[in-house]
Structure 1
Amino acid sequence: MALTDARLAEIRARRAATTPGPWAIDAPYYWPGDDDPHVSSVAVDADCMPVLLPAPGAQRGEADLAFAVHAHHDVTDLVVEVEQLRELIAALTDPDPCAYDHHGSCQTHGQGSDPYCAHGRAQALLPPEARDA
């Protein structure tokens, strides 16, 4: 299943709305009444539902909560998309290395209109183990 432009826009918007951080697992917990005005915490209520505990003066606590709640699904979709794209790039890319002439044209793949050969750019997107396959 492809990640649609609309789905990607939703993920991008959630990420853009969050506080800049720091985001860390070992960050101290801030409860209402604590002194840090920039950090919100998420707790779980008795029904295992996420509850926002905004820090005093937190500007975007609800956006942080929405980001955290959607993270598992968003990351799963993004990982699937990356894996599919890598597989496709590997299948469509000539594994031979580029050989550029003095004009910057790739002699291996016959491409010279771009500053870099499309095959070379595609090869750079693949992890090293996929490039050697």
Structure 2
Amino acid sequence: MSTEPMSPKRLEGIRAREAAATPGPWESVVDNHGHGQVDVSVWSDTIGYYLVEKVASGSNHFADGAFIAGARSDVPDLVAEVDRLRTAMRLSFSPSLYLEIQEVLDKAHGSGEGDGAGAGVVADVWLLIEQRDRARAENERLRSGIADAIRDVDVQASWHQTLQQLIANQT
């Protein structure tokens, strides 16, 4: 398992393998032949035969069979979740910051000449996130300043109007 972000190429490969696989649902089937011999197989009702005749025997063959059978529904769900999270990330950042993040990730995955080392990617992403947070804080500070300025102008306009009325009343 990698801790690096998944490249678009790898995700497309997973999509292609999932699309080409036998449709689900798949089921883990335990065949007890007696005399201590138990086989675990993976069955597809869609096509009516075993996809995996016998999961390798051993202490994990029940879990392995369940894992293989579950992959038919788990993989599409996980790919959909990756898509959902990437969309959420795109929507949570400004377009220019998202493009900067995407550029860093593309370099990490080797989409350009001399790229692909992946060194410093996490640091680069954190730097971009810090820049985003500073920009958001500055934006909030400016919004607050604008709101204060508008209140000051309203107060000054009110005082100006009051002074004009006082002057008009004295003449």
Is TM > 0.5 for Structure 1 vs Structure 2? no
Which bin holds the TM-score, normalised by the shorter protein?
A: 0.3 to 0.5
Q: TM-score, normalised by structure 2?
A: 0.30
TM-score by length of 1: 0.37
Richer in helix (by share): 2
Highest relative contact order (Cα 8 Å, sep 6+), 1 or 2? 1
Larger radius of gyration: 2
